[in-house]
Amino acid sequence: MGERAAAGGGKWVDVAPGRLPRWLENFAARHGPYREEGLTVTAEDGASATLHAPPGAGPVTTLAELIREARAPRRLGLLLARKGAVAVGIADGDELVASKVDTHYVQGRTAAGGWSQQRFARRRDNQAKAAAADAAGIVGRILLPEVRTMAALVAGGDRVAVDTILAVPQLRAVAALRTGRLLDVPEPRHAVLVTAVAAARAVPILIRE
């Protein structure tokens, strides 16, 4: 489901819960038989893979527990934000059961100088603030009533935009459920939100070969 470089070496891959057993079989086929140490497997050629529980999963200490927990249906909140666009949803297992997408125009940066540049900067700042306020309102309508049923909140897009939205005091209960990872997504649209459900449920694996 994607691959990205890991700080300190290695790479991250995201694997759908249902594919975990097959992924481990393929890892053994590439690197040789492996031994398990908690959530880390180390193959005979020295390659290792450390599996991490997906957002909202309960505590796990073994691979068998992780696979079982990852497959279990969970109710997740989703918040994707970039510039003036926001997509908010609730996923129940693999299904997106509620959503709202909104887009605001936020002026791009200008190369003009002097007073004109300051005027454009003020206008852009005001537009960004209005977009964030509207986005916070959407989060309040979609996620706040369901906060007690949500196992976690998964965010994606631009970190500053997400942070600004969740900084609204009324959304403190929603923000408390936020997980550490930020999904890398394009400009939020409904189709992007649907795809984000699978990304939010995926198991992150750190591979070092």
pLDDT tens sequence across 148-176? 999 999 999 999 999 999 999 999 999 99
**Within this chain, do residues 92 and 37 fall inside the same structural domain, yes or no?**
no
Burial class (CB in 10 A: 0-12, 13-18, 19+), 6: middle
**Within this chain, do residues 121 and 35 fall inside the same structural domain, yes or no?**
no
Under 8 Å between Cβ of 12 and 165? no
- How far, in Å, CA of 157 to CA of 177, rounded? 17
Q: What is the CATH number of the domain that holds 122?
A: 3.30.420.60
**Within this chain, do residues 87 and 120 fall inside the same structural domain, yes or no?**
yes
**Within this chain, do residues 172 and 191 fall inside the same structural domain, yes or no?**
yes
pTM of this structure:
0.85
**Within this chain, do residues 41 and 85 fall inside the same structural domain, yes or no?**
no
Question: How confident is the model at residue 133, as a pLDDT?
Answer: 79
**Within this chain, do residues 156 and 82 fall inside the same structural domain, yes or no?**
yes
DSSP track, 106-172 = -PPP----HHHHHHHHHHHHHHHHHHHHHHHHHHHHHTGGGTTT-SEEEEEE-HHHHHHHHTSGGGH
pLDDT tens sequence across 169-201? 999 999 999 999 899 999 999 999 999 999 999
**Within this chain, do residues 55 and 96 fall inside the same structural domain, yes or no?**
no
**Within this chain, do residues 159 and 109 fall inside the same structural domain, yes or no?**
yes
**Within this chain, do residues 107 and 162 fall inside the same structural domain, yes or no?**
yes
User: Does pLDDT of 118 surpass 80?
Assistant: no
Structurally, the chain folds into a number of domains equal to 2
Lowest mean pLDDT among 12-21, 60-69, 79-88, 152-161: 79-88
**Within this chain, do residues 23 and 125 fall inside the same structural domain, yes or no?**
no
**Within this chain, do residues 46 and 98 fall inside the same structural domain, yes or no?**
no
Domain extent at residue 16:
3-72+204-208
Under 8 Å between Cβ of 107 and 124? yes
**Within this chain, do residues 127 and 47 fall inside the same structural domain, yes or no?**
no
Question: How confident is the model at residue 106, as a pLDDT?
Answer: 44
pLDDT confidence band for 84 (50 / 70 / 90): confident
